[in-house]
Amino acid sequence: MKSIFQKLIYAAPLALMLNSCDNGFEEMNVDPNKYSEVVPGYLFTRSQLDGVSTNFTGAAYLTIGQSMQHFATYKEVPAAGDKYFNYTYSTGNWNAYAGTLQGQGAVVAIQQIIDATKENAADVNKLSAARIWKAYIFHRLTDIYGDIPYFDAGKALSDKNYGPKYDTQQAIYADLLKELDESIAAFDATKPTFGTADLIYGGDIPKWKKFAYSLMLRLGMRLTEIDNAGAKTWVQKAIAGGIIMDDADRAVIAYVDGSQVASRNFIANGLLSTDYITPGGDNVEGGKLAKTLIDYLKATKDPRLNVISVVWTTTDGKTFTADTTTALQSGMPNAAFNNLPANFNSFSEPNPNTLLKYSTPLLVFGNAETNLLLAEAAVRGWYAGSTAAAAYEEAVKAGMRQWSLFGSAGTISEAKIAAYLKANPYKGGTVAQQIEQISTQKWVALFLEDEYEIFANWRRTGYPVLTPTNYPGNLTGGKIPTRFVIPDSEETYNKTNFLEARTRQGGTNALSSTVWWDK
């Protein structure tokens, strides 16, 4: 893994610069700070890293993590999801288009890969993987922003299109599902793959197909409140195709601890660099784990509580110990404070031995989620391969086993898993009651690894039931945020298309507006 990152950071620019040199004067007209040609493998590696990590702190942690009541803060400035302040934290995901000072965005990179591989039949597997990854990148973008540039996106270099039109989310979803379907069918086991440049599966075609079908299952289920018939069609097609079911098929990106930030787990790096720097002291962003989450884990006797959270204890005020004792865990209420509370150190924080390790892997898509989707499909009468109860139990088991990816501190014994299921069996009941239990389990199972999906599922189903905060001066009228805000710069640089899309989506560009499938 370390060698892959070293190749990405060091070898790619060197190789490209050497290839561009000659004895003439053409290099005088070439920008020395940019690549002179596209190397799909290097770009694919970078697009995978950027595709999962863009704006983690502002979006997944401060905006979604707080609004979904996994985290809380006493401060006002970073309270994008706690007190529904400061919409600017939600604009950072737009960097997927334009990139940052450190490099181009994931959208541009993945489009360059597609353009570089689509003309050569020998590159069909690389093209298929790139199209699938593009669907992953764009489904996240459209789910948080709604109507966005899609068909014209990433074409400033190839087509000189600097003002891409905004496409409807309905049209984007239709094309994402089509892209997944076509890409799966196009794979050819006799042709080369990205190999080790693929950080998730190392070019394993059968696993890429399962990933694509799993993403199809997720997107199909997203349509339940807006196109129930279409949802059923795509959900059943995905299940029939074969989704991620076994631990060995989970989509995982490995990271290593080192001096190169790009090689570190971005969640750990983000939390450590922006909030949880000094044990036992005031945190930079005033963050703690939320009361809603901790209370739920304690009430259900969930063994994940001791994997996720700690309370820093001390006997001398100087040396602090990360204590995972269940009785000590206490979540901070959302929007309860605007100054450092006297009992701040009594509240739970992320466990440094699991969540805050640079070398921990990222679970991009796992079998806990796929089994929960199967359980919902069974409830809706779309899946006869298992009962909702059986799929739910498999999801719980997978959701607890996945913490072993974090090392021994994250390992949950089979006995504890069995005890949890005995104390918290699948209850059955009405369709709404069953979807509530399934969705609440998803709220726990995907904690921190995929806050985006928790946010999307909550908006679609309304579960888990969360009590909004109504802090004075909030930006939503006391409503939990339901959409991200597109940057103000779009009104300057792409005004006509931006305003058209804003009008189409109710005339607002605010945290309280909604996306197409959110009814």
Q: What is the pLDDT of residue 162?
A: 81
SS3 348: coil
Q: What percent of the chain has pLDDT over 90?
A: 86
The 10 Å CB-count burial string (b at 16+, else e) for 21-51 is eeeeeeeeeeeeeebeeebbbbbbbbbbbbb
Q: What is the pLDDT of residue 446?
A: 98
Q: What is the pLDDT of residue 36?
A: 53
pLDDT tens digits along 290-319: 999 999 999 999 999 999 999 999 998 889
Closest CA to 482 of 447, 518, 439: 518
Q: Tell me, letter by letter, the H, E, C secondary structure of 85-154.
A: CCHHHHHHHHHHHHCECCECCHHHHHHHHHHHHCCCHHHHHHHHHHHHHHHHHHHHHHHHHCCEECCCCC
Tokens of 262: 């790009």
Domain ranges of the chain: 1-37, 43-199+208-215+450-519, 261-350
Cα radius of gyration rounded to whole Å, the chain: 23
The Cα angle at residue 153 between residues 365 and 203, in degrees rounded to 5: 35
Among 1.25.40.390, 3.30.420.40, 3.10.450.50, 3.20.20.70, what is the CATH number of 43-199+208-215+450-519?
Answer: 1.25.40.390
One-letter identity of residue 241: G
Contact 229, 340 (CB under 8 A): no
pLDDT tens digits along 427-449: 999 999 999 999 999 999 999 99
Q: Compute the average pLDDT of residues 260-282.
A: 92
Contact 171, 108 (CB under 8 A): no
**Who has greater pLDDT, 31 or 54?**
54
Question: Rounded CA gap, 512 and 250, in Å?
Answer: 34
**DSSP secondary structure letter of residue 332:** B
Tokens of 16: 């490209």
